[in-house]
Structure 1
Amino acid sequence: MKYTLLLLCIALSMGPTYSQPKYKNPKLSVEERTQDLVSRMTLEEKVGQLLCPLGWEMYEKQGNKVTQSKKFENIVKERQIGMLWATFRADPWTQKTLENGLNPTLAAEAGNALQKYIIENTRLGIPIFLAEECPHGHMAIGTTVFPTAIGQAATWNPELLTKMSSTIAQEARLQGSHIGYGPVLDLAREPRWSRTEETYGEDPILIARMGEAFVKGFGSGDLTKENSLISTLKHFVAYGVPEGGHNGNPNSVGMRDLRENYLPPFQAAVKAGALSVMTAYNSIDGIPCTSYEYLLKDVLRKEWGFNGFTVSDLGSIEGLKGSHHVVENIQDAAILSANAGLDVDLGGNAFFLLIDAVKNNKIKESVINEAVSHVLRLKFAMGLFENPYVDVKQVAKNVRNQEHIDLARKVAQESVTLLKNDDNILPLNKDIKKIAIIGPNADNIYNQLGDYTAPQERDNIKTVLDGIKSKLSTAQIEYVKGTAIRDTTNLEIQQAVAAAKNADVAIIVVGGSSARDFKTKYIDTGAAVASKDNISDMESGEGYDRASLDLMGKQLDLLKAVKATGTPIILVYIEGRPLNMNWADENADALLTAWYPGQEGGNAIADILFGDYTPAGRLPISVPRSVGQLPVYYNQRNPKSHDYVEMTQAPLYPFGFGLSYTSFEYNNLVIRKVNNTRYTAEFTITNTGNFDGDEVAQLYIRDEVASTVRPVKQLKHFSRINLKKGESKTVSFELSENDFTIIDQQMKRIVEPGKFKIMIGSSSEDIKLEDVINIETI
């Protein structure tokens, strides 16, 4: 008895014998915690962390109460999942509407419920990652909807993009999200391709600058920051140049082209702090991107030092069998992609088969260990083990608040691009007697929001008609739709003609649409299926590739009929790709493109039409005259293209082009040498017009002689500058070694001695100042 009491006393004096696992100790390093947790996990638990199933079926909503669903409970039990994708998503594919979907507050409650269940009902209590689509706003009900990426790029304003993406990150994190899919860094040189709207255009420098800015707004990879969001870069790589414009089709991009044009935007975004990279559906020179070891390991991790995780696009692992036919079954597809360096399975059905593959010695468990470590490190770095829940009370006042709405208007204003303005018909006088507002996109909320947009309350969206109504009296306005985008029934062309005859000017809003509807069919990846039996407005957006770029339906008939009245025409294109503008260029008195301008697009367009904002958007992609010209990007390699029998080789509107209500002069170019590969280009811009406004100064370089074929010119720097009327500013661009490098015949990145022409202007074709520098022997 005494001996027992002695032992008890000794034990009590030594304190508690239980110590919590290392992975639960926040004082230890992320690496220590990760290694400890992986060492405790079963194979099934490890593979579970690599699965990212679809999330919108994982909650149940009853009135104003939301909880986890039985499906979620079952999948947690059966697969011990580590992520969910698109939990808060609402659109026709998910069958989530304003009625049965989640408002921001309920979304936060749903996220907390899912998090609580998985922590309390799994052996190790690992928090779940919630990934959401965030390219131009969090794709959820009640969030702020910004212009799509092609419009964001038209601002040529990286600083503004950082403010925008920071707002998107805040709204997503407040609702419980941790990963934001975006930015899309595909180089778009095939406008027939359905996803052009999701890109920053045709130029690698512009894409890189915009991508960096977007990632910075997500927190630059510092997951300890409040409202930081893991940025998932899409789509790795060379996805935007598919053969025939068919989404997901192969391409034959060469290794030099890949390294000079397609990879640099991704590298810049990784350097800026992106911690997730999504593989593309396509193959490159016969190798599917989802199983391309050279890209996923040698380039991404070894060369660039990427320390986040890679993720498949939805169903792209299965696509190794079903689309590319490089394996016989889905398990082999999972093995091939995992060995190549793919970490996470979006969809979650292919990698589940890795459990059996490891047990049967078809793949090493060390491959699984490495992949799961990439994921768990970020969960620890984000502090999810200590703070897995969000404050529901903060959501309503901080999602889509007035500050965010104002920012959406600002981005839309800066994106609208004026392409023609004969006799300075714009801006319009608000004292105008009568305006006819006509066209399928004049008062259609979803046609201006773009793909990857959730349903929104009508009052949240401002169309062109709404915007003009805010500036004029009802008596000054007559609205007629005229026609739809694609449907050729229910025409109101004669009514539109009558309205135009009665008006001093006709504002006609045409173009395209990525608006999904509940009649459209969708494949498992969420891409829409084009069908002659289902005529919606949708002619752009994922899956809607085009054979031509012409206006669809009876839109051109509408334009011609209104033109015949003799009433001046102001034509506005709302579009997801550069559509045919040949008739507009010849016949419209003024022409603008607003791309898909988001929820405040109508207000922004009205601001420009009536002179409350001076347009300064610039084209991030060339506008072709014909699909027969394609590809028609400005920085093609030498030799310069020659004219066709039928037409010029030049695009209708070149890259970087955009007009203003004011005018600018460029003077006093001075190029100073800092050292052999560093120069400063300094010049003066003066606003010589009658309006305050922005100018977008652009610096291009031409390598006069090189050992490999170079572009005819290449954008290297740009800056959007605000100038009051009569004001002058000095602009300075710093040229560094990277601006002069080429990839030589041995695939080495070098600077060769020789002459370089420095060109500065307001577009790729409107060069105002130029000089030549000579780089001496390196």
Structure 2
Amino acid sequence: MHVRRKLRAGLRGSVLAALLLPVAASPALAQGDTPAYQDTSLSAEARAADLVSRMTLDEKAAQLINDAPAIPRLGVREYNWWNEGLHGVAGADIATVFPQAIGLAATWNEPLIREMADVIAIEFRAKHVETRHRFGGSDWFAGLTVWSPNINIFRDPRWGRGQETYGEDPYLTSRLGVAFVRGLQGDDENYLMTVATPKHYAVHSGPEPSRHRDDVHPSPRDLHETYLPAFRATIMEGGAHSIMCAYNAVDGVPACANTPLLQRYLREDWGFEGYVVSDCEAVANIYNAHEHGYTQTSEEGAAVAFRAGMDLVCGGGGEADNILGAVRQGLLSEADLDTALGRLFTARMRLGQFDPPARVFPHITPADNDTDAHRALSLRVAEESLVLLRNEGGLLPLRAAPRSIAVIGPNADNYEALVGNYNGTPSQPVTVLEGLRRRFPDADIIHAEGAGLLDPVLEPVPDSAFCRDARCSQPGLDVAHFASPEMEGAPVSTGIETNATMSWEGELRSGAVRWTGYITASETGEHRFRYVANGGYRIWIGDELIVDAWGVDWRPTLVTGAAMLEAGRSYPIRVEAFQRTDRGDERLMWSLPSDTGAQQALAAAREADLVVFVAGLTHQLEGEDLPIAVPGFLGGDRTSLDLPATQQRLLEEVTAIGTPVVLVLMNGSPLNIDWADRHVPAIIEAWYPGGRGGDAVARLIAGDFSPAGRLPVTFHRFVDELPPFENYSMTGRTYRYFTGEALYPFGYGLSYSSFGYTRPQVSRARVRADQSVTVSVDVTNTGAMDADEVVQLYVSHPGVPDAPIRSLAGFQRLHLARGETRTVRFTLQDRALSLVEADGIRRIEPGPVALWVGGGQPGGRDGLQPAAGVEARFEISSAAVLPN
């Protein structure tokens, strides 16, 4: 969803009278019998149909928008359908924050994801009932319809939203998606805990800048083999009650107006009975000429979407009027609206929004949000998500607590690196720096940031650098405040301030500010400037605009600009800024040519017994539709896989000192760390690990547990070994079709222990298409430490042209005490034995099947320890065609 548009859609709040409206209060309903929609003995579908039949046409149209108003005469509360729960309850409020979705995938632990989703659902309910007078209604980000999980395939590591997904494999994504959906919706016989909404349907995974106009043409094979299976599984197995259609078009038709997607596959083939919600303003994309331009008018755009099977529009700007216009022009019938509304109000009935609150999960209270137990689960999930990529010489686990630790890098003490995007707010966030302090209380821990994410370390420009005139006879800066961000007309106030800083309060929150004066440098060389802000800013040195970050949204940007300054010389400076949120103070920052931050980090590394270098990215660089264009990053996507140059340079300088280095990566997409793989002894992939992430990393380093996270994506070395980003063909993509040598392959991860695989057995040597086959293997912990192992089953079809190299067909994460042996079994049938052919038909064909069961994929590369495992084979003896 478009995050800037989120705020706009969320501003359409409901009136106070609607907030206070009892669930069944209405003078018109006080007379006579209880209406059918309030009769709890009837089915949710029957109650919904009765309620819809009582609405006027205008009321019906208004209910088809995500910010649906109250209908007081019918006792219908206002309801905003928009809420997010990707890895915890999202929004500004306190909630338990679990690792970002890509980290959840790295656990390879289906039961754990279900347990976590159960907790997330409880916290949604806990927050929803916190104010009882809103029961049955909701404002933005406060309801029970959860627009998660994101089960798009992370087909290309450049996609900035890949962090929101479960990785590159359809099977792994399907299993974790089903677990997440089931956890969110719950097992209650009468009510749904929440409504889960798998997204974005379908064939959607970047690029971000063109997503509103992209037209994707997947081959029939890729569509049914890669892009649709996870959606099919979350609908047919998970029972998801909602699904979100995507921005892009598929084969020339916008996804939210695409009849094959929304009718043939979703409703006819998969039996979906829930509702379809559009991505935000995706319906506007249908008719906007500069986007899809699929229809000539907005009314036609609304009509094709609802006729195709979409039921709810996320977006404002007159969409209800467009729906009414479509009906009045004969493009839609009122019956079409009734069909959509029936699905929507069935969901609200199943959530219990028209029933007495005491009947709907009465055991859940506000105290069930962000509990000690939930935070403990967040730590466990974070621990299981960590992937040990390298451990040369057995540096880890530490044999003894070091006397001194230098904690270096831009993410060492960076809150943003914990949470990823679509996040809530952890009440007790633990960065890696804090985690190390907690785990090694007797060690001398020295923190030196050393480098920013993209630039040298920035520090506040001191007051002494500013003056109001060229001769610097008057200290400070002239300041002018304006009533609006457009800075039109005369300022509302002027004055003199010592620095370009601002605490936005009162009326200033909706305005803008301009500082003018002179700045004097103390060093000669390149200075980089940034205004730390939750809004837009511009910086001029002399007549040159060196930073233009005016067109940003509510997210702080990391954009800087450079200026060559001479020591002792004064330069005109102008800074302009406006605020989009009421969070925090703002200030002008610069970096000095001497790069004092890097020097401090190098000094700390020389003095320490161990260096923990915490590098990577944040959601400020990779994410959804980001207003950023800097080397390596564009619009939220990445144009390079490399660690940003400033971080790479510092890492090389620190490593050259000779102090043992543990590199911790915090990021949502794969990084090329080829140099580090050859020079740094220990590397941990930590993803965006959630509120307790720092504790998890510190405990891993200490050896409190053995790592068992496995990569859900392939780590490549170079961007030029990938197909074009815009090309959705799977040829050359992911482990299933990439024929080159990966830096780290899908499924890879090291342990502090070791494992042996023996006695592979297949229940049948020849298997008919209508039969199943069981594969078993004995797995032994042959190391000296109790540990988890992730047993992975891969299937190959030798000799079949265009078949995947191999495909994941099963996995189990299990805990083994040292010396313990356990038999692991997998059952393969129908879809696991099949292949999708070029015509898009899924078939089982006679022929040999090769199996690999191990702790990762078979084979390896120079310098990379191959995974332990065993091979097996069987023969398929007959053919069959399977439904898609």
TM-score, normalised with respect to structure 2? 0.73
**Letter paired with 2:107:** T
Question: Does the residue aligned with 1:683 lie in a helix, a strand or coil?
Answer: strand
TM-score, normalised with respect to structure 1? 0.82
- 1:709: which partner in 2? 802
1:705 CA drift (Å): 3.8
Whole-Å separation in 2 of the counterparts to 1:259 and 1:475 = 55
- 1:657: which partner in 2? 748
Determine if contact 1:135/1:183 at 8 Å carries over to the other structure.
Answer: yes
Whole-Å separation in 2 of the counterparts to 1:50 and 1:144 = 32
Determine if contact 1:634/1:654 at 8 Å carries over to the other structure.
Answer: no
Whole-Å separation in 2 of the counterparts to 1:547 and 1:247 = 20
**Identity across the alignment (%):** 36
> Residue deviations 1:303-338, cap 9 Å, x none?
101111000111111112242122233322212211
Whole-Å separation in 2 of the counterparts to 1:192 and 1:616 = 26
Confirm or deny that 1:274 pairs with 2:367: no
Give the direction of change, closer, same or farther, for the CA distance of 1:127–1:221 in structure 2 (3 Å limit).
Answer: farther
Choose the corresponding residue for 1:445, options 401, 415, 432.
415
1:496 CA drift (Å): 0.8
Confirm or deny that 1:482 pairs with 2:450: yes
Alignment of 1:485-504 (within 5 A): 485-488=453-456, 489=458, 490=591, 491=595, 492-504=597-609
Determine if contact 1:186/1:235 at 8 Å carries over to the other structure.
Answer: yes
- 1:334: which partner in 2? 302
Whole-Å separation in 1 of the counterparts to 2:78 and 2:235 = 25
Determine if contact 2:772/2:829 at 8 Å carries over to the other structure.
Answer: yes
Which region of structure 1 is more displaced relative to structure 2, 302-311 or 233-242? 233-242
Whole-Å separation in 2 of the counterparts to 1:396 and 1:30 = 27
**Letter paired with 1:668:** R
Determine if contact 1:247/1:545 at 8 Å carries over to the other structure.
Answer: no
Determine if contact 2:382/2:696 at 8 Å carries over to the other structure.
Answer: yes
Confirm or deny that 1:512 pairs with 2:512: no
Question: Does the residue aligned with 2:147 lie in a helix, a strand or coil?
Answer: strand
Unmatched 5+ stretches in structure 1: 1-15, 54-80, 83-117, 642-648
Whole-Å separation in 1 of the counterparts to 2:816 and 2:633 = 39
Question: Does the residue aligned with 1:296 lie in a helix, a strand or coil?
Answer: helix
**Letter paired with 1:374:** R
Question: Does the residue aligned with 2:651 lie in a helix, a strand or coil?
Answer: helix
Choose the corresponding residue for 1:720, options 794, 804, 813.
813
**Letter paired with 2:354:** F
- 1:773: which partner in 2? 874
Unmatched 5+ stretches in structure 2: 1-29, 129-142, 459-590, 724-731, 859-866, 880-884
Whole-Å separation in 2 of the counterparts to 1:356 and 1:221 = 41
- 2:123: which partner in 1? 171
Whole-Å separation in 2 of the counterparts to 1:247 and 1:406 = 40
Confirm or deny that 1:296 pairs with 2:262: yes
Whole-Å separation in 1 of the counterparts to 2:363 and 2:853 = 51
Confirm or deny that 1:234 pairs with 2:234: no
Give the direction of change, closer, same or farther, for the CA distance of 1:619–1:746 in structure 2 (3 Å limit).
Answer: closer
**Letter paired with 2:167:** G
Confirm or deny that 1:596 pairs with 2:694: no
> Residue deviations 1:456-493, cap 9 Å, x none?
55xx1001111111121354211111111023344411
Whole-Å separation in 1 of the counterparts to 2:419 and 2:208 = 27
- 1:147: which partner in 2? 99
Question: Does the residue aligned with 2:638 lie in a helix, a strand or coil?
Answer: coil
Give the direction of change, closer, same or farther, for the CA distance of 1:616–1:248 in structure 2 (3 Å limit).
Answer: farther
Alignment of 1:118-267 (within 5 A): 118=70, 121-125=72-76, 128=79, 130-140=81-91, 141-176=93-128, 177-219=143-185, 224-225=190-191, 228-240=193-205, 242=207, 249-267=214-232
Whole-Å separation in 1 of the counterparts to 2:869 and 2:212 = 39
**Letter paired with 2:170:** P
Confirm or deny that 1:731 pairs with 2:745: no
- 2:762: which partner in 1? 671
1:370 CA drift (Å): 0.9
Give the direction of change, closer, same or farther, for the CA distance of 1:129–1:273 in structure 2 (3 Å limit).
Answer: farther
Whole-Å separation in 2 of the counterparts to 1:480 and 1:687 = 40
Whole-Å separation in 2 of the counterparts to 1:617 and 1:239 = 26
1:17 CA drift (Å): 8.7
> Residue deviations 1:227-247, cap 9 Å, x none?
711001111011125499978
- 2:784: which partner in 1? 690
Determine if contact 1:758/1:771 at 8 Å carries over to the other structure.
Answer: yes
Which region of structure 1 is more displaced relative to structure 2, 547-556 or 123-132? 123-132
Determine if contact 1:482/1:558 at 8 Å carries over to the other structure.
Answer: yes
Confirm or deny that 1:528 pairs with 2:496: no
Whole-Å separation in 2 of the counterparts to 1:139 and 1:17 = 42
Determine if contact 1:580/1:624 at 8 Å carries over to the other structure.
Answer: yes
> Residue deviations 1:8-30, cap 9 Å, x none?
xxxxxxxx992222222112222
Give the direction of change, closer, same or farther, for the CA distance of 1:273–1:392 in structure 2 (3 Å limit).
Answer: closer
Give the direction of change, closer, same or farther, for the CA distance of 1:453–1:392 in structure 2 (3 Å limit).
Answer: farther
> Residue deviations 1:709-764, cap 9 Å, x none?
21011110000010011111111111112211223455433211111111111112
Choose the corresponding residue for 2:437, options 469, 472, 485.
469
Which region of structure 1 is more displaced relative to structure 2, 318-327 or 246-255? 246-255
Alignment of 1:315-464 (within 5 A): 315-320=281-286, 321=288, 322-349=290-317, 350-387=319-356, 395-457=365-427, 460-464=428-432
Whole-Å separation in 1 of the counterparts to 2:820 and 2:37 = 60
Determine if contact 1:189/1:241 at 8 Å carries over to the other structure.
Answer: no
Question: Does the residue aligned with 2:155 lie in a helix, a strand or coil?
Answer: coil
**Letter paired with 1:484:** G
- 1:58: which partner in 2? none
Alignment of 1:638-649 (within 5 A): 641=739, 649=740
Whole-Å separation in 2 of the counterparts to 1:127 and 1:438 = 49
> Residue deviations 1:528-556, cap 9 Å, x none?
31155xx9xx969xx41111112225101
> Residue deviations 1:635-670, cap 9 Å, x none?
444xx73xxxxxxx2110000000000000000101
User: Aligned residues, how many?
Assistant: 674
Determine if contact 1:440/1:483 at 8 Å carries over to the other structure.
Answer: yes
Whole-Å separation in 2 of the counterparts to 1:236 and 1:361 = 28
Whole-Å separation in 1 of the counterparts to 2:735 and 2:657 = 41
